[in-house]
Structure 1
Amino acid sequence: MRKLTYLVACSIDGFIGDPNGDASSMFQFAGGEYLAWYEAEYPDALPVEARTAIGIADAENKRFDTVIQGRGSYQIGLDADIPSPYGHLREIVASRTLEKAPHPNVEIVTGDIVGRVRELKAEDGDLGIWLCGGSQIAGELLDEVDELVIKTYPQVYGAGMPMFGTGFAVTDFALDGVKAFENGVVVRWYSRKR
């Protein structure tokens, strides 16, 4: 069975964006040793524009063949006139307001996203499924998340969009690893406790 991995950037206090979902203040940390590591380990989690800019447009996918994101996360690409931001992956967007996909590589799921994720996880294949964000879809899919990869940036937001837009529910994960970078970024890997 394939894994659903929530690979996400957040502040020290666990927010993936400000109250409006803007996380652009975190972009300042995408450089140096950290960026070189990220390019090598997670090239599939970079949008096509970034892959092209850094010369890895044709890099092979190492971990994922599918990306899932909510409408708010997907809207960032649409606003930049990029209707298929992760064209090297199968793109699935959960949305109750988008009725038609603006690009042939994008599948819109207007109904049961949990059921669709279960179908994806049951497919044969060596590569996994990346949950890109945002908060609401992560909350809806919390019970399906097999792995968390949390990129914590050295900032405190104080308030904003939480990693999981859910009500209170305790879900246990086991810490599998930690990597720290000179710029203050810390990456942690967790697997779901079964």
Structure 2
Amino acid sequence: MRKLTYFVACSIDGFIGDPGGDASSMFQFVGDDYLAWLSSEYPDTIFGPGREAMGIADVENRHFDTVIQGRGSYQLGLDAGVPSPYGHLREIVVSRSLESSPHPHVEIVSDDVVGRVRELKAEDGDLGIWLCGGSLVAGELLDEVDELVIKTYPQVYGAGMPMFGGRDFSVSDFALDAVRSFDNGVVVRWYTRKR
């Protein structure tokens, strides 16, 4: 069974964006050391044009062959004129507002996202599924998340878009597997769901 990994950036207090979803204040922490680690360890999570600019467009995916993202996250690519932002992965966008896909490589899922994720997890393959965001999609898929890779940036938002939005209170236990810190204050933590 393949696993669903929520690989996400957040503030110290657990927000993935401001109240409108903007996380651009976190970009200042993507420095040389951290970016070198990200591009070598998780090249599959780098936006297509970024991979080209960094000269890693042909690097094989290490962890994922599929990405799932919400409409808001996907809109960033559309606004930049990139309707297939992760063309090196199978792209799935969860949206109730997009009636058709803006790109033949992008699959739109408008209902039963949990069922679609279970289908993806049941496929054969060595690579997993990357849950890119956003908040409401992560909230809907929390019970399907097998692994968390949380990139915590040294900022406090105070309010904003939570890592898991739209949920009632419930507890899900995860075990800490590893921690990596960088000189710029970024801390990456790996967790596995306790079953």
TM-score (norm 1): 0.99
Counterpart in 2 of 1:175? Answer: 176
Aligned residues: 194
Could you list the runs of 5+ residues in structure 2 that have no partner in the other structure? none
Map 1:20-99 to 2 at 5 A: 20-99=20-99
**Aligned Cα RMSD in Å?**
0.5
Deviation at residue 167 of structure 1 after TM alignment:
1.8
Could you list the runs of 5+ residues in structure 1 that have no partner in the other structure? none
Give the percent of matched residue pairs that are identical in Structure 1 and Structure 2: 79
Deviation at residue 22 of structure 1 after TM alignment:
0.1
Deviation at residue 74 of structure 1 after TM alignment:
0.5
Distance 2:35 2:94 in 1: 29
Deviation at residue 99 of structure 1 after TM alignment:
1.1
Distance 1:115 1:25 in 2: 34
Map 1:1-194 to 2 at 5 A: 1-165=1-165, 166-194=167-195
1:31-64: CA deviations, max 9, x gaps?
1111111111000000101101111011100000
Distance 2:19 2:144 in 1: 25
Which stretches of structure 1, 4 residues or longer, exceed 3 Å deviation after superposition? none
Distance 1:169 1:76 in 2: 31
TM-score (norm 2): 0.99
Distance 2:46 2:152 in 1: 17
- SS of 2:149's partner is strand
